[in-house]
Amino acid sequence: MSVRVRADLDSLPAYVAGRTVPGSTKLASNEVSRGPLPSVVEAVTHAAHGVHRYPDMGATELVDSLAKHLDVATERIAVGCGSVALCQQIVQALCSPGDEVVFPWRSFEAYPILTRVAGANEVRVPLTEDHELDPDALADAITDNTRVVFVCTPNNPTATTLHERQLEEFLSRVPSDVLVVLDEAYREFVDDPQAPDGVEFTRRWDNVACLRTFSKAYGLAGLRVGYAIAPPHVAEALRKVYIPFSVNAVAQAAAVASLEAGDELERRCAEVVSERTRVRDQLLELGYRVPPTQANFVWLPLGERTGAFNEHCLNNRVVIRAFPGDGARVTVGTPEENDILLSAAASFSG
């Protein structure tokens, strides 16, 4: 007899991380390509001298900086080891076995995994034919058992965003005891004036939480720190299920330094946004279908040709993220990296 592991874990889908292939350009994980700012490296070095002590469990300085930066009360903020940990904290804090979690599909791959680990039931709601979230269908999917709805905007991997008006209409259809989680991992790259600002929605709706991360625009993917703005009792529940000390001291210091470097980071985001326009335009010119993008990546709905495109990119030393049978997600990198991708895309004939 061997140790028994939960039988339902056998059928759990695996989280697939973007691959790093030595000698190839990695455009697979929606990271920013430029290394951390000197001021952030300095803060990391300084914090490294104190790592013989446990970190501040309440991440006080970071929470205070976020409160100031976003103009929200500290009691409405919870931090996590990446915003993926906050997704998990939310499901853990709100769902009991048998409860339902509604989310669009295709979307962030962690939603179904975390839902099933918590013993809750997943309800996947298809995107529209234009690869956009379908707010009416999401609202229709809510039942008496629904506790959480994840709304990923811009959506990973399709890069499309909801508009403010659509979100208002959707929220007016959601029962007040269901938490709507606006997952805004890519919010800093949004330039569509009609796109919602999740933090503003948390001020007006008592059942809305907004998730953001330091992994993408702030370039701290390797340090693992994200945050939630939520109703105070929800934020308190998220702190209760937080794995003690999981946002480490170095990550806390880097995040604080990043918030202080707002102007430089804005310039970096602007570069990504202008490159994303160039990449999308050239891909369209080459004959690819590319939905409008508001994130730091583009979505190529290649269907059955996805596998061949992925192979071709690998052969041309560029690593992208393929969703077999569906499409390919390509991160916007530096101009030089994007040129490598564009030249691979130009020679693809599959």
Residue 29 CB, nearest approach to ligand PMP (Å): 7
Nearest Cα residue to 50 out of 251, 219, 222, 214: 251
Which token pair is 3? 């140790």
* Other residues' Cβ atoms within 10 Å of the Cβ of residue 213: 25
* Other residues' Cβ atoms within 10 Å of the Cβ of residue 200: 13
Residue 160 CB, nearest approach to ligand PMP (Å): 12
Q: What's the alpha-carbon Rg for the chain, to the nearest Å?
A: 20
Closer Cβ to ligand PMP, 113 or 312, answer by number: 113
How far are the Cα atoms of 8, 62, 145, 313, 338 from residue 275, in angstroms, in the given order?
A: 44, 31, 43, 19, 8
Closer Cβ to ligand PMP, 30 or 294, answer by number: 30
- Distance, first Cα to last Cα, the chain: 51
Q: Tell me: does residue 28 bind ligand PMP (CB under 6 A).
A: no
DSSP code per residue over 145-210: TEEEEEEESSPTTT-----HHHHHHHHHTS-TTSEEEEE-TTGGG---TTS--HHHHHHH-TTEEE
Q: Which stretch binds ligand PMP (CB under 6 A): 81-89, 250-258, 278-286, 319-327?
A: 81-89
DSSP code per residue over 77-88: EEEESSHHHHHH
* Count of residues in contact with ligand PMP, rule CB under 6 A: 13
Among 59, 84, 195, 272, binds ligand PMP (CB under 6 A): 84
Q: Tell me: does residue 82 bind ligand PMP (CB under 6 A).
A: yes
Residue 270 CB, nearest approach to ligand PMP (Å): 21
Closer Cβ to ligand PMP, 112 or 226, answer by number: 226
Residue type at 163 in one-letter notation: H
Q: Tell me: does residue 301 bind ligand PMP (CB under 6 A).
A: no
Q: Which stretch binds ligand PMP (CB under 6 A): 51-59, 124-132, 213-221, 261-269?
A: 213-221
Rounded distance between C-alpha atoms, residue 86 and residue 100, angstroms: 17
Rounded distance between C-alpha atoms, residue 93 and residue 80, angstroms: 13
Q: Which stretch binds ligand PMP (CB under 6 A): 78-86, 200-208, 238-246, 313-321?
A: 78-86
Q: Which stretch binds ligand PMP (CB under 6 A): 46-54, 55-63, 79-87, 313-321?
A: 79-87
State whether the Cα torsion 37-40-46-47 is positive or negative.
negative
Among 196, 219, 226, 291, binds ligand PMP (CB under 6 A): 226
Give the DSSP H or E segment for 299. Answer: strand 297-300
Closer Cβ to ligand PMP, 84 or 167, answer by number: 84
Among 83, 92, 202, 296, binds ligand PMP (CB under 6 A): 83
Which token pair is 245? 């000390």
Q: Which stretch binds ligand PMP (CB under 6 A): 80-88, 139-147, 190-198, 315-323?
A: 80-88
Rounded distance between C-alpha atoms, residue 258 and residue 312, angstroms: 37
Q: Tell me: does residue 308 bind ligand PMP (CB under 6 A).
A: no
Among 72, 100, 102, 108, binds ligand PMP (CB under 6 A): 108
Q: Tell me: does residue 185 bind ligand PMP (CB under 6 A).
A: yes
Residue sitting closest to ligand PMP (CB): 82
Beta strands in 70-116 (DSSP E): 77-80, 100-105
Q: Which stretch binds ligand PMP (CB under 6 A): 9-17, 76-84, 95-103, 270-278?
A: 76-84
Region 145-184 residues binding ligand PMP, contact defined as CB under 6 A: 152, 156, 183
The contact set with ligand PMP (CB under 6 A) reads: 30, 82-84, 108, 152, 156, 183, 185, 213, 215, 221, 226
